[in-house]
Amino acid sequence: MKKMFKKFLRILIKNLNNLVNDQYGNYVIQHMLTMIVTTLVNINLVVMLSNSVLLFPQNQKEKFLNNFLETLNGKPKIYYMCADMYGNYVVQKFYESVDENMKDKIKKY
């Protein structure tokens, strides 16, 4: 799988200029960049939260949750995190560490 992905990336980079100037190619590039950035952000969140989520005071957890309940493209950010392998892990660990009131807020999504 890694080999195929690396080959795909090489082809993509080689044809990047053409793809950016093509209507559909540009869409693909934008979508892939969004996925890559989201994955990197989520990996950083996993590291940060796995080291400290249980130690966060309640008010910090509330701020964190409110941020991820804000909408992005019509859906709460937490929705996108749950759809991502790393983000899902963060949401699960966060969920395990919060009180029932905050769990109820998360369950709505």
| pLDDT mean over 26-52 | 72
Q: Which of 52, 37, 38, 39 is CA-nearest to residue 93?
A: 52
Computed over every residue of the chain, the mean pLDDT equals 78
User: Per the structure block, which two tokens stand in for 14?
Assistant: 């080689």
pLDDT confidence tier of residue 49, bands split at 50, 70 and 90: low
> What is the SS3 assignment for 52?
helix
pLDDT at 101 over 70: yes
